[in-house]
Amino acid sequence: MRPSRHRMVYAAGALALMSTLLTASPAAAVPSLGSVPDAGHLSVDPLMRHLRALQAATDRGGGVRAPGTAGFTNSAGYVESVLTAAGYQVREHHFTFNYTQVLAARVRVLPDGGDEQIQVINYTPSTPVGGIQAPLAAVPVDATTGCEATDYAGSDYSGRIALIRRGGCSFTVKQRAAAAAGAIAVIIYNNQPGKVYGSLLGPTDGVVPVGAVTQELGERLVAAGPVRLELEVRQVIQTRETFNILADTRRGDPNDVLVVGAHLDTIPESPGINDNATGVAAVLTLAQLASHAPVPRKLRFAFWSAEEWGQVGSGAYLSTLDAAGLAQISGYVDLAKLGSPNYIRGVFDSADVDGSGGVTGPAGSATIENALIQGFALQRLSWKPVDLGGLANSDWLSFLSAGVPISGLFSGTEDLKTASEAALFGGVAGVAYDTCHALLCDRIDNVNRQVLEQNLRAVAFGLVVLETAPCAGGQRARAPGASRTPAGPFGRLA
């Protein structure tokens, strides 16, 4: 069949973008679009330049990029300067949110135990300064531990600290049920190796102080029998204003927008170079490469704020869009933590490609996921699906909730690497993917340059695949009056 004029134009656009991507390095060799035998030679150097600039901006502002800090403002200024120099018209989207910061987090067995690590559950009520002292009472384990009133019927929890295994219901439900049984505080322990990071539903949902400990510590406390604890969990909650940064390619169909995003903010305890300056650097690099590319689909590059407080920035942005504006967004690619030292090469499993039956994204997500998978396949690299129901929450969650097809890349945070992952990717089993996650040591020397470069190549070539591949998903509603142009080089995602 003779190719249509549209398809010839789009193929030419894909070739031009492929050439742009590959000539980013002097050693580049343009592969055949028919087979694309390798993933080219995109260099990690521009990402490292961005990382060094972001670390310097963060350091000048006090060492973190929490929203409302000078570190965030400095870093946002750098992002905007790069985008402006590349020819973009930059937009800021301002919003307010409930900022929280940990003031104290410790637990110890009385009378002479040492302080043990505990995570403060976001929006928890605070203990008094110095903490509280009370007996510990473990809730019996079942499929929904501590979720129902009947879980507390067999023991006296009045005036005690309830120790509850994670799982079966939200932290909000667990602490309310424990408080109704008379508990004056709650400690949730993990149901798998690693730390627990979590939140109550909102700042008014807390009834008693809530913290979380590892599975190992929780099981040790259960085995210790009747013990008395000193618990201190305190945080500040205040309203702050911050902003997202957005920039669109000048070319491309405004009724067919692919958003590529990463969060710029950090928690108040870390400079966040892997989490998530690596994602920011990748989005900046892609924006620079795409600034003059002939893209039929419009690309929107997004740098979110307040992600660490529950994907607030991306959710706030999406809430400003009417039905027509939302329908113009045909997909979202999330880039989160791309340089973990003990890494995995993870692709968000928005289409359940491994058949595990996990959470899946809206129709059309398979096209994005498979394109990113091809980005690794073109490099002859292994990868693994990352379950959307796991701990790797980021701004993709806001888009998924809004019905937008999603996927993204992820190299791991606080979870421990499994033996099978070590066999697949190398590294050390039983050690966290990133031992500096959420700590002061998450600086540029914490970043694995090799996997960072591999992730850049994967997403860059994933975008090229999306440009050239036909649609492989359902059909999302289009904006009223939207054009019906055929699939372009970034391909309709749905």
Domains and CATH numbers, the chain: 5-88+249-468 (3.40.630.10), 99-237 (3.50.30.30)
Residue 26: the pLDDT is 30
Q: Indicate if the pLDDT at residue 261 is higher than 50.
A: yes
Q: pLDDT tens, 327-343? A: 999 999 999 999 999 99
- 435-484 tens-digit pLDDT: 999 999 999 999 999 999 999 999 999 998 876 644 333 333 333 333 32
Query: What angle in degrees, to the nearest 10, is found between the helix axes of 278-290 and 449-468?
Result: 40
Q: Are strands 329-336 and 406-410 parallel, antiparallel or unpaired?
A: parallel
Q: Cβ distance 74 to 60 under 8 Å?
A: yes
pLDDT tens digits, residue range 164-179?
999 999 999 999 999 9
Q: 219 catalytic, yes or no?
A: no
Exactly one of 230, 232, 307, 414 is catalytic; which is it? 307
Structure confidence by residue, pLDDT tens digits, 76-118: 999 999 999 999 999 999 999 999 999 999 999 999 999 999 9
| Cα–Cα distance, 197 to 120 (Å, whole number) | 8
pLDDT value of residue 292? 87
More confident residue, 414 or 143: 143
Most confident by average pLDDT, 160-164, 222-226, 249-253 = 160-164
pLDDT-derived band at 41, boundaries 50, 70, 90: low
pLDDT in tens, 282-327: 999 999 999 988 888 899 999 999 999 989 999 999 999 999 999 9
pLDDT given at position 467: 67
pLDDT higher than 80, residue 206: yes
pLDDT band at 33 (very low <50, low <70, confident <90, very high): very low
What average pLDDT does the structure give for the chain? Answer: 86
pLDDT bracket for residue 411 (50, 70, 90)? very high
Examine the pLDDT at 35 and tell me if it is beyond 70: no
- Over range 386-407, report the average pLDDT: 88
What pLDDT shows up at residue 354? 73
Please, are residues 415 and 197 in contact by the beta-carbon 8 Å criterion?
no
Share of the chain above pLDDT 90, in %: 75
The reported pLDDT for the residue numbered 359 is: 80
pLDDT, tens only, 128-154? 999 999 999 999 999 999 999 999 998
